[in-house]
Chain A
């Protein structure tokens, strides 16, 4: 792998350690919720990172359909996978946070959390289509599913938004203004997560490319045998 990779790995490790310290120790304790609130520094940056990754998936899918560039397809696949990982963190940390603070595991009216859940479901279907697809045109089908997913998201958001106005419920994560010290910790954690996402995606990307080469070599080999 290219030289940039070890550098990125080191930066990520440093950032993550720093972010961990900031989140768990240095950041001020929240007034009402206490230390449980610190999960906020994992919940929110994971969500933002997942959204960035899904955006990358959407753009690479479109690029693939226009240009049929194999690398765009691999990028779409990889960003969806890593996106699902971060999305999982969001929907797991949500209830963990909500339970001690609001007494509930889930709030269907919480736009962000519920939209993230639906996004998670959509991308798991995307990955299942990739996995179960037969034939040589999987990238095309996957790209179409990704575009459908992107079209669905605003509709999901608005439907839940209106649902919430009719059925008010606690918003996990609260609204309101944020102490600037907390905002700083939030951004540090986001930077760390973005680096981690980049690292994971890069690894996965190189792995997919290597896998493709192995398969091509195997295919050639089995056909050479066939023609003997």
Chain B
């Protein structure tokens, strides 16, 4: 278990299987992901990308196999160092952006000043009182990203962050992600739009039918 891994591997998965009754979403995923890199996970629907990401985030428990994140087999222990974002906003529609973040900051034991910081970092207005439910999709995703980086995580997991997002918001998020990777964060992005990240990605991870079939440094169009 983990003898040959480089000490800078932030995620180590071995034979991950996840079964939902009859359907196996993951069929034996084995991978080591090094730190300080930006990985893009691509694949068709049903390939197991979301399941894999949720397993790494500690939201879903595998049926078989082991996974260690940040050196811990119990992902519960390192939650303070993980950030997670998905296509739904993970925010309360009836509260403003700042109110949302103040609540989540409480869960991490962070001061309110931090909330202001991250909202500014994603180029949104911290004093905007409009409830998040009335934001455009681009603004909502950026606010969701702000929530995900609230705790300054070492490992950032994003599941379809660019869905239905306007180009400008997507580009701003991309720039921010590159910045964070350059400052030492490890980032995993699941997306159907890998072209958006082509310039900044370190590696593309291809998944199909619950397995990783290929890892490439560049985005190649499959035959």
Contacts and interface: CB of A to CB of B under 8 A. Distances in A.
Interface of A: 134-137, 215, 218-220, 222-223, 226-227
Contact of A136 (B19, B209, B211): B19
A220 B211 CA distance: 13
Contact of A219 (B24, B61, B208, B211): B24
A223 B211 CA distance: 10
B22 A223 contact: no
A219 B209 contact: no
Interface of B: 18-24, 27, 46, 61, 63, 208-211
B210 A223 contact: yes
A215 B19 CA distance: 11
26 contacts: A134-B20, A135-B20, A136-B18, A136-B19, A136-B20, A136-B21, A136-B61, A136-B63, A137-B61, A215-B21, A215-B22, A218-B22, A219-B23, A219-B24, A220-B24, A222-B22, A222-B23, A223-B27, A223-B209, A223-B210, A226-B46, A226-B208, A226-B209, A227-B208, A227-B209, A227-B211
Contacts, number: 29
Contacts of A218: 22
Nearest to B62: A136
Contacts of B211: 227
Contacts of A137: 61
A207 to B, nearest CB: 17
A137 B19 CA distance: 10
Identify the 5 closest CB pairs spanning chains A and B, nearest first. Answer: A227-B209, A226-B209, A215-B22, A219-B22, A219-B24
Contacts of A136: 18-21, 61, 63
A136 B18 CA distance: 8
Contacts of B22: 215, 218-219, 222
A219 B18 CA distance: 12
B19 to A, nearest CB: 6
Contacts of B19: 136, 219
A226 to B, nearest CB: 4
Contacts of A226: 46, 208-209
Contacts of B27: 223
A136 B209 CA distance: 18
Interface core residue of B23, B63, B210, B211 (most chain A CB under 10 Å): B23
A55 to B, nearest CB: 29
Nearest to B60: A136
A134 B22 CA distance: 11
A223 B209 CA distance: 6
B52 to A, nearest CB: 15
A129 to B, nearest CB: 15
A219 B20 CA distance: 10
